[in-house]
Amino acid sequence: MSITAEKKIELIGEFKKSDNDTGSPEVQIAVLSHRIVNLTEHLKSNKKDHSSRRGLLTLVARRRSLLNYIKKNSEEAYLGLVEQLGLRK
């Protein structure tokens, strides 16, 4: 259900802007998206896990907020990130 350290390092490597970048909005969105996918799969088999459902909604809201920030600053970066992650607009 959680993200492994190896997967997180892989996502950071794929979405980082510079060598020391681990916290840019693009990286955060990629990590959140992976966590959201994992949690969604968990909730498909555990329908009554309401505390995890609440956590999922929190993650989705945080990702939406970061996406709005990127869209406000650079429309091209937003569209590229949405396409790369396969998100709906």
Provide the CATH number for the domain around residue 34. 1.10.287.10
Task: Give ∠ CA 45-42-80 in degrees, rounded to 5.
Answer: 130
For the full predicted model, state whether its pTM sits above 0.75: yes
Check the CA dihedral 63-82-14-24 and report its sign.
negative
Domain that holds residue 33: 5-85
pLDDT band at 89 (very low <50, low <70, confident <90, very high): confident
Asked whether the predicted pLDDT for residue 1 surpasses 80, the reply is no
Helices (H), 22-74: 25-45, 50-73
Check the CA dihedral 21-24-26-29 and report its sign.
positive
Residue-level pLDDT at 2: 81
Residue indicated by tokens 């980082």: 16
Asked whether the predicted pLDDT for residue 48 surpasses 80, the reply is yes
Number of domains in the chain: 1
Name the strand (E) or helix (H) holding 81. helix 75-85
